Amino acid sequence: MIIFGGSKSAELGWEVAKTTKSTLGKTQTKKFPDNETYLRLMTNVEGKECAVIQSVTSNDDLVELLMMIDALKDHKATQVHAVCPYLAYMRQDKRFKEGEALTAKTVLKLIEELADSVATINCHFLGDPGQATYNNIGFTNLDAIPYLVEHLRGKISDPVVVAPDKGGLTYAKRAAELLDCEFNHIEKKRISGTEVTMKTKGLDVKKKDAIILDDIISTGGTILEASKIIRRSGAKTVNVGCVHGLFLNGTEMFAGSVDRLISTNTLINPATKVSVAGAISEHLK
Ligand code: R5P
What amino acid positions are annotated as catalytic residues?
188
Amino acid at 94: K
pTM: 0.95
- Residue 203's SS3 state is coil
Which tens digit of pLDDT belongs to each residue from 42-75? Answer: 999 999 999 999 999 999 999 999 999 999 999 9
The closest residue, in CA terms, to atom 13 on ligand 1 is 219
245 lines ligand 1 (CB under 6 A): no
pLDDT of residue 131: 98
Q: Beta strand pairing status for 130-134 and 137-142?
A: antiparallel
Backbone φ, ψ for residue 15 (5° rounding) = -65, -40
217 lines ligand 1 (CB under 6 A): yes
- Whether residue 93 is predicted with pLDDT greater than 90 in this model: the reply is yes
- Mean pLDDT taken over the chain: 96
Q: What does the angle CA 178 – CA 147 – CA 177 come to, to the nearest 5 degrees?
A: 10
Backbone φ, ψ for residue 27 (5° rounding) = -135, 165
- Residue 157's SS3 state is coil
- Whether residue 222 is predicted with pLDDT greater than 80 in this model: the reply is yes
pLDDT of residue 137: 98
Q: Beta strand pairing status for 130-134 and 237-245?
A: unpaired
170 lines ligand 1 (CB under 6 A): no
220 lines ligand 1 (CB under 6 A): yes
- Whether residue 249 is predicted with pLDDT greater than 80 in this model: the reply is yes
Rounded to whole angstroms, the Cα distance separating 105 from 116 reads: 17
Contact 143, 122 (CB under 8 A): yes
The closest residue, in CA terms, to atom 5 on ligand 1 is 216
Amino acid at 157: S
Cβ-count burial 256-279 (b if 16+ within 10 Å, e if not): ebbbbbbbbbbbbbebbbbbbbbb
Nearest to 228 by CA among 253, 263, 191: 253
